[in-house]
Structure 1
């Protein structure tokens, strides 16, 4: 299936000497039929929002509008329009203002959602902490946590039980994030008790719900789901405050010339005179990194395993690749080993291409501006659809097929059927995801460990797993059956 741009005339510059095309207003673009006053509100389910918008993209073309009440929203799957908007942040465009409003309200307004001048120092700090050169020193811890995941899966095999993959992967990513970023080994993989990831799993869906809510009713009265969110936020805040206390005690007891992790760096910055970095900023960024580190990577891995379960031939190829790379080791034994795992990174990127956990990017115009000749009023929302371009044969040859090898080796953009510019899973421009390198390393480690030790198949009908948008796009459920291999 091809998602080619049908509004091509609005996306290409006029030829030299030709008359420039007339500018268009949002009202001039195609739009699905809606209701008076409500517009398209009743046609949109927040949990399936990406699917409905992708459906309209196929029907109306790559660039169209919807109406949410009286507000008109630009929706586009054009790569050129998306890149233009993403590269013009935080000047002409910002994240949807409702995201920052909701994040500030629940205490999570960190580097992901914060806007304006407060963003840059937070961004610089997080980028330094998650830079590729920092990850080699963290490898022994990542290896330890990967082996814990292997042992957890082996216990499931020995007991003859199916595996709740999503729960296991979120435990893995919570353990990685807390160890790397906060210097604390919480080891949720080796316990079956209630753990912090269960509370984190409540927060993201409610953020998504509140961002898309027509009215902020929770400011006036609370439903059971809002009280559940309050309880989870209280548990998470207690968890974060404990980590902050632990870090401050260690900083006093064992002073170091340079911070040993991101939390220590944030606390040191907080304590500098006139830093402009508050206790609230520390808490918000700790929670932001917990949420982002847990959710996006775990869900991408889950979709990768979902794809592998239905492809025994590919699993066989990966098992040979894992033996070649790891030898007798059950998990990658050294940081140098990870350079041999390109095919496993390819599996992760194919899963992200076909099942992006970020199928929608929500932006808003900071000023009256334009995109590809379309006038955008100040405050107008812009929704970017990231998946249609990656499922377009014009950008990726045989786009409907799962081909990890398309990500391996040198590529010349769009001359060999691989348009790297069309892959927007990690965003683009100044606010490109700072956790991209850590996420890639985690996914290679997990998928190589899986292939070296297990075969995987569905424990129930694949159709039981549906796409659910809960800020990130996640599987509704995913139970798989693992079998150990020599």
Structure 2
């Protein structure tokens, strides 16, 4: 049964909306709320995506909610979402609370910055994460992947369960710090997890503050706010130390091209009239650390969660890994990446069914219209990304985990695979610049896993719940690994 089969509300296509008379937000269905408070008390920030998806099934694909006096436009229509995303940054922007919170935390980088400041930062990050740059980074990626393999082997030898979420966040922290700073922090082998621990405080607090009804922390602070301050201070100290080392290295050993992303940022910062400040450098470094750790690690965790319940698929992946890697335990060359399409399919299926970006928060910069619905200036727009990917109209047998659906040539909807319904990396001008790096990392980890290990649940899989902490993460994930030849 498709996701849309369970929706009680009318499901008119977006084109039918466009032909109909214009609607106001007040004309749309809405869940019952309380006077003055609206739906505020019905929403738990950690389960926001789940509650909005529930209302989507009850009310239809497009509806409104009220948070106090503020009316919010909510839609799970992929066509409406694409229309809004393609009109950024002119007619729509990220929710203004995101930039406000990021700015006061000192993290207003390429993800959250708006207006004229966005494009030069975007261009810089896109150049740094281009495929040809990642090819030169492959030996480091290979080294860190092998450390993850050895960590898992130690768990197997000791006969202990594996805290997969912790291992994967260590892996992505090591990858990101190496790429950004050119520094090997090696949390996988040293168990030094200070940066990982601090980053783990910051991301959930960003989500909490964005969702807060009142910015109380600007007037008084709770223990969680002091913990955030300490984490931000520690991470800033780490980044400033890295900036000092990079500047000294650039002075002592000048290079024709930057050796890492931080050097590229500093070189741009030092150009006359660059418009790029020290604060911009720090904000973008922290943005990359946060985004590089969480989204990839959580997507891999959900992929492994799915694999643990599918021994047949694991056997298929093991055979494929043997064909590509031979006797090697991790991919041996960057050219191997092109041979791991099935593993990319596993990653994309996990992102389709358990997307770590279940919500995209936008806001109208001006009076706008979406599918015949008037969107007044300043209206928050919440895009639900998962319902369209769980709809049989977009993905044939959408409830089934089928990595092969991502392999080979596809045409939208002709074979039950509507690529436009997949919004994990966004769309339009602000498409995620880290998509290619994330794909390479996920293929490396999943191929390494399949080549050397089988995986099974170490506890009831229902103990793993979805938790929204800006991105959607597993509440916990303990698996039992076994070595295979």
- Relative to the length of structure 1, the TM-score reads 0.98
RMSD between aligned residues: 1.2
Given that 2:134 and 2:437 are in contact with CA atoms closer than 8 Å, whether structure 1 keeps it comes out as yes
Task: Map Cα deviations across residues 149-179 of structure 1 (whole Å, 9 max, x no partner).
Answer: 0001111111111111111101111111111
Work out whether 1:139 is the aligned partner of 2:138: yes
| Contact residue 306 and residue 478 of structure 1 kept, 8 A | yes
**Counterpart position of 1:376:** 375
Aligned-partner Cα distance in 1 for 2:2–2:38: 28
User: Comparing 258-267 with 38-47, which one deviates more in the overlay?
Assistant: 258-267
- Match of 1:317, SS? helix
The CA distance in 2 between the partners of 1:218 and 1:212, in whole Å, is: 13
Contact 1:10–1:372, Cα closer than 8 Å, also in 2:
no
| Superimposed CA distance per residue, residues 86-123 of structure 1 (whole angstroms, 9 cap, x where no aligned partner) | 00000000000000000001010000000000000000
SS in 2 for 1:409: coil
| 1:11 alignment partner in structure 2 | 14
Please give the secondary structure, in 2, of the residue aligned with 1:24. Answer: coil
Q: Which residue of 1 aligns with 2:83?
A: 84
SS class of match (2:374): strand
Q: Give the 3 Å change call, closer, same or farther, for CA 180–408 of structure 1 in structure 2.
A: same
Post-superposition shift, 1:3? 3.2
SS at match of 2:3: coil
Match of 2:188 in 1: 189
Q: Count residues in correspondence.
A: 482
Deviation at 1:45, TM superposition (A): 0.4
Shift of 1:2: 2.1
Shift of 1:384: 0.2
C-alpha separation in 1, matches of 2:458 and 2:11: 44
Alpha-carbon offset, residue 13 of structure 1: 5.4
Q: Aligned partners of 1:142, 1:258: CA distance in 2, in Å?
A: 20
Residues 89-100 of structure 1: matches in 2 within 5 Å?
A: 89-100=88-99
Instruction: Within 5 Å, give how 1:421-440 maps onto structure 2.
Output: 421-440=420-439
| Structure 1 position 309 matched with structure 2 position 308 | yes
Match of 2:115 in 1: 116
Q: Which residue of 1 aligns with 2:2?
A: 2
CA distance in 1, matches of 2:482, 2:395: 33
CA–CA separation in structure 2 for the residues paired with 1:161 and 1:463: 20
**Cα shift readout 1:380-431 (whole Å, capped 9, x = no counterpart):** 0000000000000000000000000000111111101100000000000000
> Quick check: 2:46–2:468 contact (8 Å CA) kept in 1?
yes
Is the partner of 1:135 in helix, strand or coil? helix
Shift of 1:21: 2.0
Residue aligning to 1:242: 241
Q: CA deviation at 1:10?
A: 6.3
Which residue of structure 1 aligns with residue 388 of structure 2?
389
- Which whole-Å CA distance do the structure 2 matches of 1:247 and 1:464 have between them? 44
Please state whether the residue corresponding to 1:12 is helix, strand or coil.
helix
Residue 109 of structure 1 aligns to a residue in which SS?
Answer: coil
Distance 1:30 1:152, change over 3 A: same
- The CA distance in 2 between the partners of 1:287 and 1:445, in whole Å, is 24
Give me the whole-angstrom Cα distance separating, in 2, the residues matched to 1:13 and 1:400: 27
Q: Is 2:128–2:261's contact at 8 Å kept on the other side of the alignment?
A: yes
Is the 2:170–2:193 contact (alpha carbons within 8 Å) kept by the matching residues of 1? no
Q: Are 2:144 and 2:171, in contact at CA under 8 Å, matched by a contact in 1?
A: yes
Paired residue for 1:443? 442
- SS at 1:215 equivalent: coil
